[in-house]
Amino acid sequence: MAQVLEFKLPDLGEGLTEAEIVRWLVEVGDVVAVDQPVVEVETAKATVEVPCPYGGVVTARFGAEGTELPVGAPLLTVAVGETAEGGRPATGPGTADGEAARGQGPAAEGSGNVLVGYGTSEAPARRRRIRPAQPAPAAPAGPSAPAAFAAPSANGRPRTVETRDTRDTRAADAPQQPERTGTPGAGGTPSRTAGAADGPVPVISPLVRRLARQNGLDLREMTGSGPDGLILRADVEYALRAAAAQGRTGTGTAGEPRTQAAPATDLAPADRAVTRIPLKGIRGAVADKLSRSRSEIPDATCWVDADATELMRARAAMNAAGGPKISVLALLARICTAALARFPELNASVDTQAREIVQYADVHLGFAAQTDRGLVVPVVRDAHARDAESLTAEFARLTESARAGTLTPAELTGGTFTLNNYGVFGVDGSTPIVNHPEAAMLGVGRIVPKPWVHEGELAVRQVVQLSLTFDHRVCDGGTAGGFLRYVADCVEQPAVLLRTL
Q: How far apart, in Å, are the Cα atoms of 185 and each of 27, 188, 190, 478? A: 20, 5, 6, 66
Contacts of 298 (CB under 8 A, 6+ apart): 471, 472, 473
Would you state the pLDDT for residue 299?
95
> Quick one: what percent of the chain has pLDDT higher than 90?
40
Would you state the pLDDT for residue 42?
81
Strand order in the sheet with 3-8: 3-8, 74-80, 56-61, 31-32
Judge whether residue 113 has pLDDT over 60.
no
The SS3 of residue 335 is helix
> Quick one: what percent of the chain has pLDDT higher than 70?
68
- Across the range 138-154, mean pLDDT stands at 44
Say how many CA atoms lie within 13 Å of 260 toward its Cβ. Answer: 2
Confidence category of residue 270, pLDDT binned at 50, 70, 90: low
Confidence category of residue 268, pLDDT binned at 50, 70, 90: low
Cα dihedral sign for 228, 231, 237, 238? positive
| Each residue's pLDDT tens digit, 18-52 | 888 888 999 999 999 988 999 988 876 677 888 99
Strand pairing of 68-70 and 56-61? unpaired
Of 10, 3, 1, nearest in space to 125 by CA: 3
The question of whether 454 is a catalytic residue gets the answer no
CA atoms of 204 and 8, how far apart (whole Å) = 12
Would you state the pLDDT for residue 432?
85
Judge whether residue 175 has pLDDT over 50.
no
* Highest-confidence segment of 19-23, 380-384, 428-432: 380-384
- Across the range 363-387, mean pLDDT stands at 91
The question of whether 476 is a catalytic residue gets the answer yes
Type of residue found at 296: E
Report how many helices (DSSP H) and strands (DSSP E) the chain contains, helices first.
11, 21
Judge whether residue 128 has pLDDT over 80.
no
Would you state the pLDDT for residue 67?
87
Judge whether residue 363 has pLDDT over 60.
yes
Mean pLDDT over each residue of the chain, to the nearest integer: 76
| Each residue's pLDDT tens digit, 157-173 | 444 444 444 444 444 44
| Each residue's pLDDT tens digit, 61-107 | 998 888 888 888 898 999 986 544 444 444 443 343 444 444 444 44
Judge whether residue 271 has pLDDT over 90.
no
How open is the CA angle 23-282-280, to the nearest 5 degrees?
75
DSSP class per residue in 377-404: --EETTGGG--HHHHHHHHHHHHHHHHH
Would you state the pLDDT for residue 120?
43
Asked if 268 and 275 touch (Cβ cutoff 8 Å), the reply is no
Confidence category of residue 455, pLDDT binned at 50, 70, 90: very high
Judge whether residue 259 has pLDDT over 50.
no
Would you state the pLDDT for residue 481?
96
Q: For 297, which DSSP code?
A: -
Would you state the pLDDT for residue 210?
75
Contacts by residues 188-191 (CB-CB < 8 Å, ≥ 24 positions apart): 189/157, 189/223, 189/224, 189/225, 190/223, 190/224, 190/228, 190/229, 191/157, 191/158, 191/159, 191/160, 191/223, 191/229
Select which of 173, 228, 362, 476 is catalytic.
476
Q: How far apart, in Å, are the Cα atoms of 23 and each of 38, 64, 223, 367, 411? A: 9, 9, 26, 29, 23
Per DSSP, which regions of 213-326 are E strands?
A: 299-307
Phi and psi (nearest 5°) for 406? -110, 15
Q: What is the pTM of this model?
A: 0.55
Q: List the single range of 77-86, 98-107, 113-122, 287-296 with lowest mean pLDDT.
A: 98-107
Looking at per-residue confidence, does 44 or 332 come out higher?
A: 332
Would you state the pLDDT for residue 205?
67
Select which of 218, 271, 472, 489 is catalytic.
472
User: Which H or E run contains 376?
Assistant: strand 374-376
Judge whether residue 204 has pLDDT over 50.
yes
User: Which H or E run contains 291?
Assistant: helix 281-296
The SS3 of residue 337 is helix
Angle between helices 328-342 and 388-404 (to 10 degrees): 110
CA atoms of 132 and 191, how far apart (whole Å) = 19
Q: List the single range of 1-5, 33-37, 350-354 with lowest mean pLDDT.
A: 1-5
| Each residue's pLDDT tens digit, 208-251 | 777 888 888 888 788 888 777 788 888 888 888 887 777 644 44
Would you state the pLDDT for residue 453?
95
Q: If you count them, how many residues does the chain have?
A: 501
Would you state the pLDDT for residue 193?
45
Phi and psi (nearest 5°) for 309? -60, -45
